[in-house]
Amino acid sequence: MKKRKLKSYVVPTIIVGVIIALFFTSVIINNRGQSLEAEEQNLNYVSQTILGNDIAVINTETKVINPYTDSAVTIGKYYYDYKAESANQEKSIIYHDDTYLQNSGIDFTSENVFDVVAILPGTVTEVKEDETLGKIIEIKHDNDYISIYQSLGEISVKKGDNVTQGQVIGKSGTNELDKEMGNHLHFELYIGGQVVDPTLYLNKELSESQNKE
């Protein structure tokens, strides 16, 4: 086979072509790198975990409870409601010392002595004994609530004590005002300084109770 010689200009031309190709390749790679860098600058990276240390919020709505836990306890006398029918009003009248009085609370009765508990957490603001009303405990709660427990046979707290909801604060007993009722608890509830019908608030969520104020 006869060998052919490359002409003198062919090799320089190839070299120049290779150089030009490398140059354009370099330019393209450089532009691509700058484009990626610009894209990265426009990205917003998450620097913290999504969950982090946040604590889940749980609905802890407080319910006002009854001032007793014994299921045998019943209502012996209701709160006197000016708007109630006359038949119901008659059941809310107290007769004492030849005088008829309107009941300002609820009287809970039972044949047996029962534990009396705080309807909400609060601070004991008064502990005393009255000749007519018997032993008395007053507790101030949040939301301007004040609960009063009368006709107690025993008292388990003292003034200034902080009590929890459901804590036993005393036991039912008797008094001179409602002597015919025997063993019972006379319970009153004040909100914003005004006496209210406890049946509208006991066993209700605080948010429901506040809607009645």
pLDDT tens digits for range 35-86: 545 555 554 544 454 445 554 444 457 899 999 999 999 999 899 887 777 7
Instruction: Specify whether the CB–CB gap between 178 and 165 falls below 8 A.
Output: no
Q: Looking at 5-9, 94-98, 178-182, which range is the least confident one?
A: 5-9
Look-up of token digits 């209502």: 75
Residue 21: closest CA among 13, 10, 9:
13
Residue 130: closest CA among 191, 84, 85, 175:
175
Cα 88 to Cα 29: distance, rounded to the nearest angstrom? 94
Which tokens go with 204? 């209700």
Residue 75: closest CA among 120, 105, 116:
105
Phi, psi torsion values for 112, nearest 5 degrees: -105, 150
- Burial label for 170, CB within 10 Å (0-12, 13-18, 19+), is buried
Instruction: Specify whether the CB–CB gap between 92 and 105 falls below 8 A.
Output: no
Give the per-residue pLDDT at 112: 96
Which tokens go with 183? 């063993």
Q: What is the mean pLDDT of the chain?
A: 79
Residue type present at position 186:
H
Give the per-residue pLDDT at 12: 56
When pLDDT is averaged across residues 165-182 and rounded to a whole number, the result is 93
**Distance, CA of 129 to chain centre:** 34
Query: Among 3.50.30.30, 1.10.3720.10, 2.70.70.10, 3.20.20.10, what is the CATH number of 74-210?
Result: 2.70.70.10
Give the per-residue pLDDT at 180: 86
- Segments making up each domain of the chain, as ranges: 74-210
Give the per-residue pLDDT at 102: 80
Please state the pTM of the whole predicted model.
Answer: 0.69
**DSSP-assigned letter for residue 112:** S
Residue 96 CB partners (closer than 8 Å, separation 6+): 132, 176, 177, 178
Give the per-residue pLDDT at 57: 46
Neighbour tally for 200: CB within 10 Å: 16
